[in-house]
Structure formats: C-alpha cells, structure tokens
C-alpha cells in the first residue's frame, strides 16, 4: 500500500484537491475532519478541552471560534491543545491505515494541513503539495467570513512557506488554473504512483526520516514532478 501525504498552506486549494482524490476512487484520511469529529457534541476530546480551556463549550460541542480565541497567537496554549488532539488524531489515522491495509488498497492519501510542520512526511511514501500564486491565495482567504489581512498574515507566518513546501514535496499540484486543470494533474499523479510498492506501512519501530535512497523515493525525480 502506497501512502501519499497531501498538504498545502491556507487558501491553496488543498481541500478541493483532496475531494478530487476521493472522486477518483482514492480513500483519504482528512486530519481536519478528524478534529471536527473529536470536537463535535459527543466527541472524545470535548471533556478534556473543556477542562483545559474552560468556557469554550456550546450545546455540548467545542465552540471553535471561542477555542481559537484562547489559543491563537499563544504558543503555550496551542501546545496544550495539540497535546490533547494530536494523539487522538494519530490513533484515528492508524486505524484508517490498518483498515486500508486489510482491504489491500494500493493507494491512500493522508490529507494533513501541517504535514511538514509536524514531520508527517516520515509516515508517507511520497508527498504532494497543493499550490497557487500568492495573490490568489490571499484573495481566497480574505473572502472567508471573519477573516482579516492581519489574521491571514499571522497564519501564514505559522506555516512552512509555500516555496519551501514546493521544494520538499515529491509532487506539486497546481490549483490556480481551474478545477479541471487540477483534476487532470491529480489523475496523472494517481496513475504515476498507484502501482508503486509502499514502505511506510506498517511502521517498523520508531518513525524515522526517509533517506534519499529509500526505495519509496527512488522513482521520484524532479523532472517527473507534476507542477505548473
């Protein structure tokens, strides 16, 4: 089973790209959706979040704006939240991969917004980044409700820059020229890697950084990358 890690900075079209993989029949583990599941009414993280950040519960679920106000721009508070959520999301991710392995699926995608920030690439056989020009990224984000230019720039500063992600990723999926264009690139990527053997799962011992000569990386060369 080949594991592709999918990432992209805010406003880069990663979520739409993730949907395209599903549309083309590739199972996707969505880390953001997992967090929503944990924070909704009855979610496993609700009680621990309330104990750590009193006053953020509304109608039995975590009020995300209220929680965001308590952790945004506050590194120590954010780490407390991550200490609650990351192990739970990791458990859900492992269950997804174990199920996919049992079903003998050839390819799965891990949709992880902070893939490189959290060294999640170490759990993948290859990585792909959804990317668009800055002006389009900014336009998309500022169109969101309750978003300001200051907030947008603060979020960007907390993420690995798009240029660095493009350098580190094995594949680049352009999202600035329309959905059909992106979909063609996603289909091309699936065709390029679906038959490749995976080596990241099941994990053997502690996670480690994949060396450049790792079997899962040898077939991926810059000239074969899917990019603009």
Per-residue pLDDT tens digits for 148-207 = 999 899 888 888 999 999 999 999 999 999 999 999 999 999 999 988 989 998 887 654
Q: Which of 74, 86, 71 is nearest to 38 (CA)?
A: 86
By the 8 A CB rule, do 141 and 147 touch? yes
Mean pLDDT of 72-88: 90
Q: Which residues sit opposite 4 in a β-bridge?
A: 109, 126
CA distance 14 to 76: 28
What domains, with CATH codes, occur in the chain? 1-27+107-228 (3.40.50.300), 35-104 (no CATH)
Mean pLDDT of 102-115: 94
Mean pLDDT of 33-61: 94
Mean pLDDT of 198-220: 56
Mean pLDDT of 38-43: 95
Of 56-70, 80-94, 195-209, the poorest mean pLDDT is in 195-209
Across the chain, mean pLDDT equals: 88
Specify the pLDDT at position 203.
80
């Amino acid at each position: 089973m080949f594991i592709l890690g999918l990432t992209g900075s805010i406003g880069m079209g990663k979520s739409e790209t993730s949907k395209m993989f599903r549309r083309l029949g590739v199972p996707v583990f969505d880390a953001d959706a997992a967090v929503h599941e944990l924070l909704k009414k009855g979610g496993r993280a609700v009680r621990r979040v309330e104990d750590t950040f009193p006053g953020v519960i509304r109608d039995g679920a975590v009020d995300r704006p209220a929680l965001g106000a308590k952790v945004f721009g506050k590194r120590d508070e954010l780490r407390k939240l991550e200490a609650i959520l990351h192990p739970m999301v990791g458990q859900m991710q492992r269950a997804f991969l174990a199920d996919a392995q049992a079903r003998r699926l050839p390819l799965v995608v891990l949709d992880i917004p902070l893939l490189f920030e959290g060294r999640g690439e170490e759990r993948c056989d290859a990585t792909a980044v959804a990317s668009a020009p800055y002006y389009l990224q900014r336009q998309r984000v500022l169109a969101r409700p309750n978003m300001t230019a200051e907030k947008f720039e603060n979020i960007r500063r907390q993420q690995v820059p798009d240029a660095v992600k493009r350098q580190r990723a094995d594949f680049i999926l352009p999202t600035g020229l329309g959905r059909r264009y992106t979909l063609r690139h996603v289909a091309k990527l699936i065709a390029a890697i679906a038959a490749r053997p995976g080596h990241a799962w099941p994990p053997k011992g502690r996670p480690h950084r994949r060396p450049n000569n790792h079997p899962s990386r040898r077939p991926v060369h810059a000239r074969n990358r899917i990019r603009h």
